[in-house]
Every structure is written in structure tokens, then in C-alpha cells.
Amino acid sequence: MRSILKTSAAAFTILAATTAGVSAEGLKGDLKIFLDTSNPAPRATMEQAIEGFQKQHPDLNIETTVIDREAYKTQIRNFLTANAPDVATWYAANRMRPYVEAGLFEDVSDLWAEPAIANNLASTKGAMTIDGKQWGVPYTYYQWGVYYRKDIFDELGLTEPTTWEEEKANCQKIVDAGKKCYTIGTKFLWTAGGWFDYVNMRTNGFDFHMQLLTGEASWQSDEVKKTFANWRELIDMGAFIDNHQTYSWQEALPFMVKGDAAAYLMGNFAVAPLRDAGLTDDQLDFYQFVEITPGIEKAEDAPTDTFHIPANAQNKEAAREFLRYVVSPDVQTWINDGSHLGQLPVNSESTVDDDKFLKQGFVMLSSNSPGGVAQFFDRDAPAEMAKVAMEGLQEFMVKPDNLDKILARLDRARERIYK
């Protein structure tokens, strides 16, 4: 879907504080920005942020194209190759590697040499680095965890679990009450990847998880089989909603809203649509995914969303200025606050919004994730391997008896892809 932005007084007022002290001199011509922020709240946020940048640079003609996120994933290589925009959203770590190695992303190490970025974004530099160079900038990151219906927990006399045994005991009581423990939509596969991330990191630890996703460990190893054995305990209990493979993650939300399911393992971006659907903060709460193997340090998924300059961009000067703008402290505070993206700013000089879920996420990621921070299954694994593996994960959730065949197939793919 395409929209040509027109400046609005409202957006200018909202972002007025973020535009002070920045010179508009010299930036002219066209600036084409492609976004995958197609859900309503992220779309409105990014469009207003871009309008704030337009106010700084009135001689620029800014054209923004918004593409459905799932469609964006299939189109990105094509549009980076032909008729590339000047700025494009994407993801950090291994998810950007194919486009770096294909020469489709611009090296922006020069931006990371500037103190305002080098100092204030230092914690995210590793996620943006391949072969010693930086290939984009992050603009938001967010926690994953278990979002749950506190009112249902209260009704059933449940408390937040901290161990796998407590998690299963809670789930059994929820199932006995005629509800499902978890909603999930695996139509687009990645949500199953989230479950695997957590069960595997809690069973075997962060280091093994990364060895598996980078091809060093076997899918048929005893460690991986133990992960699936743990996951199957929930599947065999009937913990997940039926026919989840037919739903997107958004289409799975009503099960939680209506109270047919008690919880959702999801990123913090789920909070806005749950609130929009009528759930109050008295009904919603959050807890960190529980311990499975005692002594394994907790690691978390905290995906980082990014902006890049395509190598074939036509207005790289303006694109670089936009990247500076979007990671600046005030813009970071604004776009990530609870009324906009509802996520965590990447700039260390930004302010975390006074939102209970953001506060919980900030504390969890800053002080209770000693095991490490992963990007997410399909960002830490190469795209080809991630696709094959997530198809297997979805199949396992539907037909767990197929596990041996699935693992053998994934190991064959590993040997082919990582050779």
C-alpha cells in the first residue's frame, strides 16, 4: 500500500521538540522511504516521525511507501535490486546478512564513527555489525514474554509461575477450566519460532541455542530432542488453541480477548491491539518465561528493528540525515513511548515511557537476562534455514509424532545450507 505523505500541523506540533537545533541546509531532491510498519499504531507513528523530519527539511520531497510486513519480506530483494528506495526498514543481525553479502545495503560505518551514535547506541552496535562494518541503525527493540489475563489467573487462583513445573501446573488448571493456556497463530511460522527459542534457551542455554541456529549443532542431538520433549508436554496437555496453523498472530488475539485462552507468548507489540480490543491493564499482565533446566541462565528474545540505506539509493546524503534523526534521543523517546510503538528506545539518552509493560521489559532486559539476548529465531538463523526449520516447528505443533522425520529433514537442510 502506498501513501504520499503531506505535512500536517498536528504532526509538526507533536515532534516540535525533536526538531530543534538541526539545520535544514543543503537537503533537496527526493527521499523515498519504504516501511514494513503496516499495523495501525506503528504505521501512524512512523508516518508522523517522517513528517517531523519533513519539517526540518522542507526542500525535500519525501515519498513513503508502506508495505504489509509479510509481503515486505518477500519483496525486499526485488526492490533493493531494482528501483531501490533511499531508506528501508529491516531487521538486525543475521537477518540483514544476505543483503549485506549481496552488496544491497550501504556501509554506514561513518555514521557509527560519530559520537552521537557511537556513544549512545553502543549496546546495539554488535547487532548491526558484519565483517567489522555497520550496515544500518536500530530504531526500536522490545521484549518477548508471556502476556496473560490476570483476571483469569485470579479467578482460577493462579499466580505467576517461575519454574516449568509451575507453568505446567497452571496450564493444567486452565485446561480443566475449559480454556486453552495459550493462543498462537502459526500461519506465518515465526510465532512457532518464538516458542522454540524460549523452550530451547531455557532447556539448553543461550550458547547452545546460537550454535544450533548457526549450524554448529545438530538438530538430531540429545539436547534438541530434550527441548522438543519439554515442548510436547504442553502440546499433549492441549495447551494451545486448535487450528493455530490457520491464524496469523493478529487473528489469534481474539482468543485471549474473549477469555478462551489465558496467555500469549509474544513481543510487546501485542499490547496495543490487546488494549485496543478492550482489555484493561487490570486484566493484562506479563511475566518472564520460566526456568526449565535449573542453573541455566535466562536469555531473552529482544528483536531489534532497523533502518538501512540501500546500496542503489539515489539520495544517500538525505538518507544518512534521516538515520541520524530517527536514532536521536528525543525522537527515540517519542516513537517508542506507550502511545506510539510501545517499545524500548535504543538511544541511551532517551527516556523509557511510564508504561507498566515497558518498565517490566526494561528491568528484565537490563538486569534479569544474564544468559544473553537473542534477536529471534528467523533473525539469528540464515533466512533459508529459518524457513525450513520454522516449517518443521509448525508441523511439530500439529503432528508431534512426526518429530524424528522433522529433525532428520532439518539436519539435511543444515548440512546443505551451512556447507
Judged against a pLDDT cut of 90, whether residue 80 lies above it is answered with yes
pLDDT tens per residue, range 29-70? 999 999 999 989 899 999 999 999 999 999 999 999 999 998
pLDDT at position 257, please? 98
Percent pLDDT > 70 in the chain is 94
The SS3 assignment for 325 reads helix
Residues 6+ away with beta carbon under 8 Å from 202: 164, 289, 290, 291, 292, 293, 296, 298
Mean pLDDT in residue range 207-224: 96
Q: How high is the mean pLDDT of the chain?
A: 92
Task: Please report which confidence band the pLDDT of residue 181 belongs to, taking 50, 70 and 90 as the band edges.
Answer: very high
Q: Which band of pLDDT confidence, cut at 50, 70 and 90, is reported for residue 15?
A: low
Q: ∠ CA 327-347-296 to the nearest 5 degrees?
A: 130
pTM of this prediction? 0.79
> Among 77-86, 98-107, 346-355, which is the least confidently predicted range?
346-355
pLDDT value for 9: 37
Tell whether the model's pLDDT for residue 21 goes beyond 60: no
pLDDT in tens, 139-149: 999 999 999 99
pLDDT band at 25 (very low <50, low <70, confident <90, very high): low
Of 85-94, 175-184, 265-274, 365-374, which gets the smallest average pLDDT?
Answer: 365-374
pLDDT band at 8; cut points 50, 70, 90: very low
pLDDT of the residue at 93: 85
User: Count of H helices and E strands in the chain?
Assistant: 19, 14
* Separation CA 26–CA 409 (nearest Å): 55
